[in-house]
Each structure stands twice: as structure tokens, then as C-alpha cells.
Amino acid sequence: MKGKDPRAADPSTNVVPIRLDASFFFERAVRSLDRNHYDKALKYFRKAVEYEPDNPVNHCNMAGILSEMGDYEASNAVLSSVLEKVDPSMTECYFYMANNYANMEQFEAAEEALVTYLEEDANGQFLEEAEEMMDLLFYELDRPAKLSRIKSRQGVVEHDQARLLLEEGKFAQAAKLLESIAEGSPEMYAARNNLALAYYYMGLFYKAKETINRLLEDDPGNLHALCNLAIFYQNEGNTEQLHELVEGLAVMVPFHQEHVFKLATTMGILGRHEEAYRHFRRLLKNEAHSSDPSLYHYTAAAANNTGRLDEAARLWKMVEKLDPASEIPRFYLSRMEQLEQDGSGIDMISYHYHLPFEEQFKLWEKFGSDMPDSLKNDPLVRSSFFWALRHGDYSTKVQVIKALAIIADYEVQEALQSFIADPLQEQDLKNQAAAVLEELGIEWQLPSSQSSMLPPAKPLVPSDSPAAAMNAKAKAVLDLAQNGKAKRLEPAQRQDLESIWLEYLRSTEDDQPMIHHVEGWAAALEYLTAKMHGIGVTYQDVAAAYGISVSTVSRYARQMDAVCNIKQRSQQMLPSFNEHL
């Protein structure tokens, strides 16, 4: 006889015990929701909270049911309790609360909760929905929300604001904003690129280049940064590194339209007009750019600079059609006609969508204080003025200061104050800049103690000095250097050249080297002075001008700089600092 199944003897073994826990009540609540039994669902969610009071999800589920039932105040009370007592990191509770307030038509409170959500939530789970609600609140309150940042898009809002400031020519304001973004979000490479450009437009070349170099250390293949660096190399006359970089850029064929445009404008500025023309033509084939007058101008410039004169004229006529109020196409078409009548060759022109610098001044003289706002606020015009204020010759700086007096806004005040504080600028020009600030109602004390970044000149070599025997040789170095064989120094800069030489002689009075190679010392002296003023010059340029070797110039320059710290001092005059040419 076979044995019986032991389970059959005890029917109770077929009963599955009910385990009452939070999961059990959660499942019951969900089933009730599926059947639209909200009362039962709320009851079960309350039980789930009782079993797991520290689980914020249970609380939020209960708040959600209360909201569905129209009890928005009770729902917000639960959500507030979650943030205060259970889990303050549940930032999505602010979004839920904003919805509840909006349903109660308490739009001020909804805005406050929504702004808190956007500023505190790092994940951005409800970012799209939050932006839609922001539009609703804008309509209801008839004003934009008081939102300073979106944490899940850290730096994006601020970067958009900075880009707008750049486009408006407000470079100093843009730079301040971009500095804070770069410090807080260094992975935002676009912001760091635009920071470099803001410095560049303000004429702060050293800061611009340093910013780009640091960016490329983090992202070596960044096309915008590489293009900007190429422009900076050209600016400083670094032909060797420029050539290597440009050859690499010349073979690139970017896919993204933004990259194509950046590369095209860069190649044009660098004088690689065939590559520029090819890229601009690619952009014109895209329907999205078919009505952009500036793009037609860039393509016309490239066509002109590659000898395609008929094509250039056709494109500028298109610019005239698309931008009838602009003087730019009429100016270039008129110049082409004049060159044709004179039988002149091709006239190389700039790729910037504005009139040449000298033509801008003619317009400013024509309009004076009645200058149209469109010209006053043109960012390219403003950037060229700010750059010329720092790096132009004396007469150009005088004209720029007069022009800036007409613009007379915050950016001008910043530029003139910075100019006055610059120890490399001439005192007479600082007086003119201070007079403009005074007319604008801004008090500014001329820093006469900073009229030169170098100590005042003393006699070349004291008559009782052990180095007196070398006086003639030292004077020969100074005379040769002040003659400026490299032809890069202005009169005021030659004064600083003399101060460098005097400082070096005084500092080495007790152990002064014998001056056998007058050309070598003079070349090194001119090189260091040029570097101090941010003038683009290389050892090769100076060596060729003086007919000596590069190693000779570099040896004497290093020897002199080790004593006077010229390079370091020129960089220290700029404040330290932690897409779109």
C-alpha cells in the first residue's frame, strides 16, 4: 500500500499567509487606481505610509492621489512634510507643489515653487513640463519669472545671456558673466571659448590666449578653440606655430553648420581665401541661410579675394537686396567700380560685416552726436574701437576716444577706466579719456604713479660707477634699439625701451656683462619692449631685422628678462582669471 501525501493530511498547508507590509498596500492602491477607486487608493497609500514612514515615495504617492481628488492644499501639506521631515533632497516635490498652486490659481506661490524646483533640482526630470508651466505663469502674471539659474542646465541660461551681451557689443559685461560660468562649469567649453573672444574684443590679448590654451589642455580637438588660437597666433606673429595649425585646419571638412561657419571665417581671416570660399559656398546651399545678408557678404569677400570679381559683385547685390538699409554692400560695389576704372588689381578686403575702420570714422564724423543707434550698437564696430584703443597708433586712439564719447554707455565707461589704469598708455591720452569720463559725470583720478610700468629713468651709467668705461657701448645699444630696425615701436614705446635698458644696467651694476655684441643686445631690447606692449613679434622677425641669429636674440633677451622680469610684469598688469569670431 502506497503511503499518503503528508500535505493531504493537513489542509492548512495550502493557505498562503498574508504579509501585511508597505508593498502589499502599495499594490492594493495601484489596483484601486486602475479601477478609478480614488478613495480606496488613498486609504491604501496612507497604510503604506504607516508601515514605511521614512520612504518619501509613499508620501509622494499619497500627495498625488490627493491632488487627483482636487484636495490641493492637503497634497501640498504632505509634500511640504516630505521636504521638511523625510527627505529634503526630493526636489521634485517643489514641481508637484507648483502644479497644485497653479490649479488653485495661486500663481505667485506657483512661481516661487517652480523657480525653487528649477534652481535646486540637478536631474531635470520635469524640465520640459516646468518650461511649459513657466510660459503659463508668464501669461498669468504678465512678467517673466524671477529665475537666476537652472541647476540641471547649469550655466546654460547664463551662457545664453552672455552670448546676447557679446552680440550687443557689451564685452565687459559678457566677460564677467562668462568668468563665473567658466569657474563653476569648466566643462562648458563654449562658454570658455566665448570668454576668450570677449577678452579679445576688449583688446586683452594675453588673457584671451591664456584662456584658449587652458581650454585646449582639457579638449585638444575643440574646433572653435583651434580656430581662435590660429587667430591669436596670427595676431602675435607666431608664424611657425600658425603654419602648423592652419595646415591641420585646411584639411578639415566639418559636418555641423556651426563648425563650417567658424572654419570658413577663420580661414578667411588667416588669408586662406580658397578654403574660405569653399566653406562659405557650402553654407549658402543650405536653405536655412538663404536670407542671411552677412553670409552673402562673407562669400562675396572670399570671391573677391580669390579673383572671382563677377561673383563677388553678384553676391554684394544680393546683400543690398537683403539688407537695403546697410551701407556695406554699396561701399564695396562702389569700390569695385572704382578699381575697375583705375585698372587696379584685386583689393583684399576684410571678412567682417562692417565698413573698413577708416570708413567707420568718416561716418562718425558725418553724424557726430546724431549717430544712429544701429551704428552705435554694432558689436563689430565697438570691438574694433576697443581693440584700437588698446593697440592702435596715437592718432587712432585719439579718434577712438572721441568716438567713444558719443556712444557713452557702460561698456565705454569700463573701457576708458581700464585704459586710464593701463600703465602702458601715454599720459596725454589718459587725460583725454579722463575728460570724456568727466563729461559723462564719472569721477576718475588719473593714476599718475602708474604713468609707466617701469621706474623713472636715471643717468645711463653714473660717472663714479665701475661700469663707466662701458658707457659708450651701452649708449650704442640704446641708440640702435631706439632706431627700431624691426619697425614695430611707436615713440612712447621707445621711451619704455630706454627704461628697460637703464633698469638692466642699474640692476647689474656690480656684475655687469661685457657688451661686445651691440646688435644682439639691441635686438633683444626691442623684442622685450614689443612683448611688453603686446605687439606680435618673434625672435625670427627681430633677428632678420638686425642681421643676426635667432639664438643670439633669445640668449640676450633671456639674460635681460631674468633681471627685469619684463614678460612677467607685462602679464601681471592684467587681472588674473581662473564662439564667435
**Mind listing the pLDDT tens digit for each residue in 295-307?**
998 899 999 889 8
Coil, strand or helix: which one is 39?
helix
Poorest-pLDDT segment among 81-90, 451-460, 528-537: 451-460
d(CA 178, CA 170): 12
Tell me the backbone φ, ψ of residue 151, rounded to 5 degrees: -60, -40
Tell me the backbone φ, ψ of residue 369, rounded to 5 degrees: -70, -10
Q: Is the pLDDT of residue 211 over 80?
A: yes
| pLDDT value of residue 245 | 92
| pLDDT value of residue 577 | 26
More confident position, 580 or 340: 340
Q: Cα angle vertex 316, ends 314, 318, to 5°?
A: 75
Q: Is the pLDDT of residue 208 over 70?
A: yes
Cβ atoms of 66 and 96 within 8 Å: the answer is no
| pLDDT value of residue 501 | 85
Taking residues 562-579, report their average pLDDT: 49
Q: How far is CA 124 from CA 81, 91, 484, in A?
A: 22, 10, 61
Cα 150 from chain centre: 20
Q: Count CB neighbours of 26 within 10 A.
A: 20
Cβ atoms of 514 and 570 within 8 Å: the answer is no
- CA-wise closest residue to 75 among 59, 89, 55: 59
Taking residues 81-103, report their average pLDDT: 88
- CA-wise closest residue to 386 among 363, 354, 413, 367: 413
| pLDDT value of residue 129 | 82
Taking residues 210-232, report their average pLDDT: 90
For the chain, what is the mean pLDDT? Answer: 75
Q: Count CB neighbours of 90 within 10 A.
A: 17
Helix axes 223-236, 189-201, angle to 10 degrees: 20
C-alpha cell at 255: 559636418
d(CA 310, CA 507): 63
Q: Please name the residue ranges forming H helices in 3-91.
A: 22-34, 38-51, 56-68, 72-81
Listing DSSP states for 163-216 in one string gives HHHHHTT-HHHHHHHHHHHHHH-TT-HHHHHHHHHHHHHTT-HHHHHHHHHHHH
Cα 242 from chain centre: 22
More confident position, 160 or 460: 160
Q: Please, which residues have CB within 8 angstroms of residue 242's CB and are 6 or more apart in sequence?
A: 230, 233, 234, 270
Model pLDDT for residues 170-199, shown as the tens digit of each residue: 778 888 889 988 887 788 788 899 999 888
Q: Which residue has the cell 493530511?
A: 9
Q: How far is CA 374 from CA 168, 357, 370, 379, 410, in A?
A: 10, 16, 12, 10, 17
- Terminal CA-to-CA distance of the chain, rounded, Å? 98
Taking residues 498-523, report their average pLDDT: 76
| pLDDT value of residue 227 | 92
| pLDDT value of residue 311 | 92
Q: What phi-psi label fits residue 94: left (phi over 0), alpha (psi between -120 and 50 degrees) or beta? A: alpha
d(CA 117, CA 150): 9
d(CA 38, CA 320): 67
C-alpha cell at 38: 480614488
Maximum distance among all alpha carbons in the chain?
Answer: 136
Sign of the CA dihedral 173, 176, 179, 183? negative
Poorest-pLDDT segment among 5-19, 65-79, 127-141, 455-469: 455-469
Per-residue pLDDT band for 315 (boundaries 50, 70, 90) equals: very high
d(CA 530, CA 550): 16
Coil, strand or helix: which one is 283?
helix
Tell me the backbone φ, ψ of residue 92, rounded to 5 degrees: -65, -20
Q: Is the pLDDT of residue 140 over 70?
A: yes
Percent of the chain with pLDDT over 90: 10
d(CA 312, CA 333): 9
| pLDDT value of residue 160 | 79
Taking residues 103-130, report their average pLDDT: 82
- CA-wise closest residue to 503 among 569, 580, 404, 408: 569
Q: What is the DSSP letter of 408?
A: -
Q: Please, which residues have CB within 8 angstroms of residue 278's CB and are 6 or more apart in sequence?
A: none
Which pTM was predicted?
A: 0.46
